[in-house]
Structure formats: C-alpha cells, structure tokens
Chain A
Amino acid sequence: MNLRIAVEKKQGSFLLQVNAEVSGERIGIFGQSGSGKSTLVHLISGLLQPDRGEIYLDDECLFSSGKGVNLSPERRRIAIVFQQAMLFPHLSVKANLLYGYRRCRTENRRIRPETLIALLKLEPLMKRGVHNLSGGEKQRVALGRAVLANPRLLLMDEPLSALDDTLRFQIIPYLKSVSEEFGIPYLFISHSILEMQLMADRIVVISCGRMAEPTTPDQLARNSMAQSPKGYLNLLHLSGPVQNNGLYAYPWGLNTLLISDGEPTGSSLFELSSRDIILFKKHPDAISARNLLECTVTEMFDSEGRVGIVLSVEGEKLVAEIVRSAAKELEIRVGSTLFAAIKASSFRKLA
C-alpha cells in the first residue's frame, strides 16, 4: 500500500498541514490527543474534505483540489474501526457484520463471511443482540464488520483505547491476524508507544497538525524513552516455561529468565521497562534479583539527558536506561561487558 497525502485543513484555530508518503502494510500514526490524528482519519476516509491538496492511495486519486476530484467515502473503500465499537444499535450482530459486505460490489468480495466469523471466533455471538456483548466482543464485531466490507485499507482509529489492558492484548492478535490473513493493509492510529511497537512496522509521528518523516517503532520508543513514564519497553515473546520454586523459568536465547508473573504453559508476551534493568560493571557476588545476565553493549543513544544502552545477551537484545552521570562513572562504551540484573517481578505479562 502506498499513501501519498499532501493536504491542508483549517478547523477553527487548528491548522492541519500534512505532506507525507508512506508505504507498507502495517503503518502507525502516532500522536498525542489534539495532534490532528482524528482529522487525518476523516480526511483520508473522505468524511471530511481538505481545504486544498491531494490524497492518493496506490496511484488512485481520492482527492485533488487541483483536478476537482473528491471521491465520496463509500467509493473509497476505506473502512474505519473506531475507538468505540459503534455497532448499529438497531441491527443484530449478523446484520452489523454484513452491513458493509452487502454494499460491496460482487467482484470486490474477496473475504467470505464464514471465513471471517471463524477467524474472529464470532459464531457464539451471532444470535446475541449487540447490547448484550462485552466491550471486547463489540470491538471484535466492529473489526469483523469493517473487514467484511472488503476494504482496500483499514483505518484503525485508536481501536484499543476504550478497552482495559487485558482486553486490549486479547484484541491485538485479532487485529493483526485479519490484516495478515486477508492481506488488508492498515493505518493504526494511537497515542500509545506500546501499541505502536506491537502493531506497526513504520510510523509517522504527527504533532500540532504537522507530520514528521516516517520512522520505526523502535526509534519512536527510543526517542520517547526519557519522557515516557515506563521508559523504553522491551517486549519479550517467551514460551515453554518450567516451574521453578514458585517462579517460571522461560528459555530466552541461550539464557533462562526467571519470571514471577508467568503462565504454566504456552507462550506469553512480557514487557520489561528499561528502568527496571540495573547494570553492574563487575559480577556482583550476591544479589536478590533473580536474573543476572552477562551482556555486551552494542549501541548507546541519548534521550533527553538519559542514556539508552542497547545490550546484546547471547544474541538477544535488551535496552536499559541510565542517567548520563552513571554512564560516565561506569565508563560504558560500545563493546563494554556488563552484568544486567533484573528482578523476577519486573516482567509484566501483557498477554
């Protein structure tokens, strides 16, 4: 998918001025509230008309003030998943799911309702009224409804913001799997760096109505490390734990990580804040933290007074965060060997 957008839109005193070209299947649009993300969603989907400019999706002109083109929303084939599920309250779950499908031209119907219902595990919900669904179920139906419209592009406008953490990480695999399974590219809009790390390959940062050059989720997490309350979040997909004195021992590369908040079986996703890693220059003799890893510094980066230390632990990567004076005192350089201590309780299970 290639999206080229160069538009201007004034709304009251707010001016959105965007000029960007992004390519990829999983694109994130990151910005704080009031940055213009929602306006951008409206402009791309055709629900709002730019004052001037052009919008091209895969070489098809969606809007051009110069050429006098303005494709109506229903002809753009861009479906939106909103923050709230926005299911039609007067329709059944089935009628909601098929709303877009029924309006999609036969030649564009690539995705069959049965396949999608199976993938999103919607079968048990089909006979229930939309008012009898939980928040997560509603969002799954909303996602299904958007996908069944067989869009060329999915706009996910903060689809996880209204959900609590547990539900959020239950929905993420669904969001990713529908896009992968059916080959629908998406724009994922959010103000959460963690969601960006999990959902996007390329990220465009928008602030005060302006867009910056595309970046990667890792770079975004590094840039925001000092400001973010949890620092840089290391995400670890771990599986096959062995129970060990009340802790879970997960294999991680050639090492083993001891984690308190694990699952007896299967695979889990953990987050580890860069601030929960303590670095030692020499091997500490006795330490209460259950994980002590010998590692090599492969990279160092600055983030507003803090120093991010990229560590290689037998091929696996971790990012630790220290203040500049500590980096100086410990004489940390690329290539230095350090010991990283991590408490078993510092790993937070996300899913």
Chain B
Amino acid sequence: MMLIPEDIAAIWLSLKVALTATVLALPFGFALAWLIVFRQFRGKVVLEVLVNLPLTLPPVVIGFFLLLLLGKNGWIGKVLDASGVPIIFTWKAAVIASATVGFPLLVRSIRLGMESIDQQLIEASRSLGAAWYDTVATIILPLSLRGIMAGSLLMFARSLGEFGATIIVAGNIPGITQTIPLAIYDYASSPSSVTMALSLCLVSVLISVVVLFVHELLGKKLDRRSAL
C-alpha cells in the first residue's frame, strides 16, 4: 500500500467533511423526523417528498442545484459573498453537498426509530405532567437512539463516498477539496496510477468496515441496555 501526503490529506478531509456534515444534519434530521412522525399538518406529503428527493435524484443534479443556489449569483451565494464567506470550491461546499445527499438516509432511520415507539408511552408521559418538549427530550429522544445512531452512521458512510454533488460545488482541488473518491477518480484517469488508486480504495474499504463494525457493536450495546 502506498500513500503520498496528498492522499493522507484526502483521507483526513473525507473524514472531516463526513463528520461535519453528519453532526450539522443531525438536529435538523431529528426535528424533521419528529415533525413527520408525530405532527399532523397540511403539506406533510410535500415535505416528505422534498426530504426524500435527494435519494432519487442523481447527485450531479443536486450538485448543480446547489451550485445555482450557492454560486456568486445564487440566493444564498449572494448573501454569503457580501458577508465575505466564500462557500463554493471550499471544503464547506463539500460538507453541504454531503449533508444534502445523505440527509434522507438520516431522516429515514430516525423516523423508523420514532415510529417504533409505542404511542401510549408518549401519552403516559404527557398525562404525567410532561410538556411536549419534555416528552421529546426524555422519552422520544432516548427511545429513538438506535435509529439516530444507525442514521448517523449511514449518513457518515454515504458522505465518505459522495462524489457527484461534491465535484460540482467543491471541485477537485488536491489538499483543499479533494476527498477520497475524488482522488481515486484522479488516479483512475491515468493508467500509471493504478496502485495509488488501489491503495485509496483499500483505505475506503477499511473505513467502511470500521463504520459497519461500530454500527453493529453500538446496536448490540443499545439492545442490551434496553433488555436490562
């Protein structure tokens, strides 16, 4: 296995982007899942479709939309540009791309976790004097922990592999926005760098295996705790 400093930078950047995207998306994912599972309101179906859209759209399309939105002339881009915070072609753009693409997976998992909570537990909590936010914090959050954890890991893994949207909004600048998949893409384009590509592929496999192991172990631990 052969890794040059640029590869190490790509690995660190991938981990940083995936972690930041997941952490940033978590509160929004939880809030949206809660809205969808526990609240009745008009336009719920529209919201569900919107949340799930990135799951079915080609990532390149999402990247393109993000570019329109965050670019110099985009709604958000204009504001950010005026306040001196450039987004496009920085690692922050890669975070936004990853967060958008992985978001539906996060919401889906948390939703499944929340849907498995017996409605009467929530009713019991309310009738015992807990306000709705108290019930969210003391009953819904701990009981959907498994879904939250599964969703976060799934999103983290999806972010690590994000390519299509990232290359459009963040580009492929070694040391700045080049993540593992982008570096592999670079290596794969030149026949002389097959070994280098293979090394990064191995790193990718390794990280994925670790993520899946953590997922299993945490899942078992949570199961044991709830069986006590």
Contact = CB atoms under 8 A, between A and B. Distances in A.
B120 A82 contact: yes
B127 A104 contact: no
A146 B129 CA distance: 10
Contacts of A301: none
B130 interface: yes
Contact of A88 (B127, B139, B225, B228): B139
A176 interface: no
A328 interface: no
A293 interface: no
Interface string B116-156: 00101101111111111010001100110000000000000
B83 interface: no
Q: Is the interface of B mostly helix, strand, loop or mixed?
A: helix
B111 to A, nearest CB: 19
A79 B124 CA distance: 8
Contacts of B45: none
B131 A74 contact: yes
For chain A, which range describes its interface: under 10, 10 to 19, 20 to 34, or 35 or more residues? Answer: 20 to 34
Contact of B129 (A77, A86, A129, A131): A77
B142 A74 contact: no
Contacts of B128: 74, 79, 99-100, 103, 145-146, 149
Interface in A48-89: 72-74, 76-80, 82, 84, 86, 88-89
Interface in A19-54: 42, 45-47
Give the one of A73, A82, A84, A99 with max B CB within 10 A: A73
Interface of B: 118, 120-121, 123-132, 134, 138-139, 142-143, 225-228
10 contacts: A47-B123, A47-B126, A74-B126, A74-B127, A77-B129, A86-B121, A89-B143, A89-B226, A99-B128, A99-B130
